[in-house]
Amino acid sequence: MNKNLSFLNFADEDEKRVVSHALELAERSRDSQTRVSSFLNIREQKLVKTALLSDGSFCFAFYGGFKDAERRVLVCFPEYVMYSMLLEPGCIDSSDDTIYDLCKESCEDSIALLRISCSDFVKLTHRDYMGAILSLGIDRSTLGDIVPDTDHDAYVFVTAKMAQYISDNLTSVGRTPVKVTVCDSKSTVRLKHNTVSSQAVATSLRFDCVVSAITGISRDKSKTLIKQGLAELNYYAKASPDDTVGDGDIISVRGYGKYKIANTNDTTSKGKSRITVLKYI
């Protein structure tokens, strides 16, 4: 195996453990069965992808329960699946319908979907659901995306092993009583994050320039927020102002909101970057 993982010098110890476990899963999947990790955030997915691609022989994908998912599990396919599906080594795109269905089938025993519902008179937010679930003492890696469906209910992807525990123990969100239902694995629920699209113009794709452009604050203030850990790139609070932002990246800025970078390929007549941004609502 290619051991050139020098890029991990910039990773923290938790991220190194995530990559190490991913490499172990990929090795174990070669001649046996499909292996599935716990949920990974976007930064962890990028680190794992780089590590597995450095080997050149693994076939894998990331899957989060629906095509718009951010937090996703690593799915490592054995050789017999590669041969039967005519797959090449590398990271295959789970947005493709055939690969999506393959991932869904492979994760049936690993991922579960919960529906949390409450009274029609109470409005709950993503933060409310997150806080309530984590207060049960479970690890963040057991949780996938939390997708509010209306003001009064939400769907949550979790590892299958935690589904019943959460269902039995999550009785309220804040002071609001809730009902938790484990959805049938065969059920079809169309989920999508609620966002509003807009465009912003940045002098470059540096992290501080993009934060300034999408929030409307000065570049000096954006640098300050980044250095204070109040502006995160792909959920990483130690990002540098000069890090490069790309398509699919998630930016969270305390007090301003959460954004997904949809497109960075357009430029203005003056050579600046015209960015398409999806702001979560």
* Sequence letter at residue 67: K
Q: Which is higher by pLDDT, 280 or 187?
A: 280
pLDDT digits 0-9 by tens, 67-86: 999 999 999 999 999 999 99
Of 25-39, 62-76, 120-134, where does mean pLDDT reach its minimum?
120-134
| Residue 215 confidence (pLDDT) | 97
pLDDT range class, residue 4, cuts 50, 70, 90:
low
Which residue ranges form the domains of the chain, and what is each CATH number?
6-106 (3.30.1370.160), 111-182 (3.30.70.330), 195-280 (3.10.290.10)
What letters, b where the CB count within 10 A reaches 16 and e where it falls short, cover 27-44? eebbeeebbbbbbbbbbb
Using CA atoms, how far apart are residues 83 and 78, in angstroms rounded to an integer?
9
For residue range 127-138, what is the model confidence (pLDDT) as tens digits? 899 999 999 999
Give me the pLDDT at residue 271, please: 92
Compute the C-alpha angle 3/64/28, nearest 5°: 35
| Nearest of 277, 71, 105 to residue 191 by alpha carbon | 71
Sheet holding 179-182, edge to edge: 143-148, 153-159, 111-117, 179-182
Query: How confident is the model over 9-34, as a mean pLDDT?
Result: 91
- Identify the residue whose tokens are 């409005």: 123
**pLDDT tens per residue, range 202-215:** 999 999 999 999 99
